[in-house]
Structure 1
Amino acid sequence: MAESFKAMLIEEVEGRPRARIADLTLADLPDNDVLVEISHSSLNYKDGLAITGKGRIARRLPMVAGIDLAGVVVESRAPEWAVGDRVLVNGWGLSETEWGAYSRFQRIKPRHLTALPEGFSPLEAMAIGTAGYTAALCVLALEDHGTLAGAGEAEFLVTGAAGGVGTVAISLLAARELRVVASTGRVSEEGFLKALGAARIVDRAGLSAPGKPLQPETWAGGIDSVGSHTLANLLAQTRYGGAVTACGLAGGADLPGTVMPHILRGVALLGVDSVMCPPERRARAWALLDRDLDRARLAALTRVAPMADLPHLAEEIVAGRIRGRTVIEIG
């Protein structure tokens, strides 16, 4: 193994977190039971906040950034994982309380590992990443609630549609032959979003302003990664008995709505957490992705970049200038 290797390290400088690409050795890594050689990671909004310092993501410093990884086990003290196993990790506090993925090697707690599905390469798994895996959890939540069954020609709204969660959510819903509407502020992405399966596009401006507590019943359900007024308006526009999943807060952590949609129309708000999600539900989400995600569509929404580009890409994703999924080559 390499005597030293590159990692994106966040340290405290003059009282603030600051990220840089540093040289580490195996002796620097935490004493967890499984050593993984990482080949690929991904770029998520949370990664952008961590690297730019525009969000205090790391709860202890120093910290290696990166919430997703795919690679191969090279050492293991855990009986459930053997050398040569292909594995991935999404969440579990990586880059917050656990050293993360932007590193050639990382030591991982055994429970945090998921077997890489046979149907995916490491690059494809990271093209999906936490964003796509979260989208799958949202689809599962709507499915378990019964919202997807018998939807017919009713429309489902996906907000933040050009982002990582939104693009995969559109693809997964379209794979079920559901009618998907994409909400985005980037009207130039209409062709891209329709190629993923969106039936039509709506401007996010119509959802991001304050709205009435109850509005015309428009959507059978929705997947929201924006929060704030966008989520409140989506709930107010969801038809009787529908459901909306909430998995992000790109537009704000507040929810300026009322209980009216819930108590007068029976609309359900389903919270989706990807970080501490139990292993069994993770396995369901990855099985859904393996079954329903079109590989050609996945390739269409993916670009690949080296770890050296992370500082620039982090600024871009926080500014909302990245569409689809960005895979980071580590190895």
Structure 2
Amino acid sequence: MPSRVTAPPPAVAPPAGAPPRTMSLADVAALAGVSPGTVSRALSRPQMLSAETRERVLEAAARLGYVANGAARALAMRRTFTVGAVVPRFGSSSFPTLIQSLEATLGEAGYTLLLAAPDHARADEPVLLRRLIERGVDAVALLGTEHAPAVFSLLAAHRLPCVMMWGEPAQADSVGFDETAAAALAVEHLAGLGHRHLAFIGGRTSDNERARRRFAGVLAAVARHGLHLAEAARIETDYGQREGYDAMQQLLQRRLPVSAVICGNDYLAMGALSALDRAGVAVPARMSVASFNDNDFAPFLHPPLTTVRIPIRAIGEAAARLLLARLRGEPVPPLQPLAVELVVRESTAAAQGL
């Protein structure tokens, strides 16, 4: 006769007026008809069990409202299964995508992400990191490679694995891409279309290493191709649509002989396109616009935006895998720069006579 699975009996409600009782691992085991060890494996290492057993345990846990005692688990294993991340300026940027991919990859391994995301101007990394360490994080993810000495001292003192996201890929435990190569793609594309005089709207290089490396890459590519990027044709600002709009208006008011503008990210480009539209400057007939990141909205701008696709999700996933390997004591192969690519759309075209 074929085997049959007997459904677990319904949970018994406590008598009216009785104080609530915290459900235990043994309660879940009894309801599911398995041993407490099986329940533990179903919740912490589900791949060790058959789908049928795992589902029975999870159903019993759900019916009882069982929640594992995280504090007891952390005490027994000397690990909290949490990772801390410090990512200043989490608003209008690509960082939400980065953090989402980091959290999703860590979550698949049973880890929870604790995020500190202060405004960039008020970010005090040593203080934020100390708070995460006080909460017992097992590892830390930071943005970029430039940090206060106190940050590295804290990490070393507590022997915490750390990954630096969106940083120089040549540095140890840094996951990123070659900003020089990314900038070269945009500049080479415009040079191939016959543009000789360019403008640039980017982030503030004084306090943003990503903006600084991106602009340095643009300058290097401009020099290599014999193009022109005048000081008056360069504007540094905060990242955002409004900032891109205002910066583009300033460039138009200066009446510079430029036929193409490169924006430091797609948010700035979005604002720049709006300013050009309002001023009656046709894109790309009179002005080409190129950018970086390839955010989800880039194909739906007017016109669709030519931009360098940055591996934002891949950075978060690779950073999570690196931390997991460190936590498991596994070897980490040398990190290679992640791939970038130019996505040509309708915001760039051949240069016309000025």
TM-score > 0.5, shorter chain as reference: no
Q: Which has the higher contact order (CA 8 A, sep 6+)?
A: 1
Q: Give the structure-2-normalised TM-score.
A: 0.33
Higher Rg: 2
- TM-score normalised over the length of structure 1: 0.35
The structure richer in strand per residue is 1
More helix by share: 2
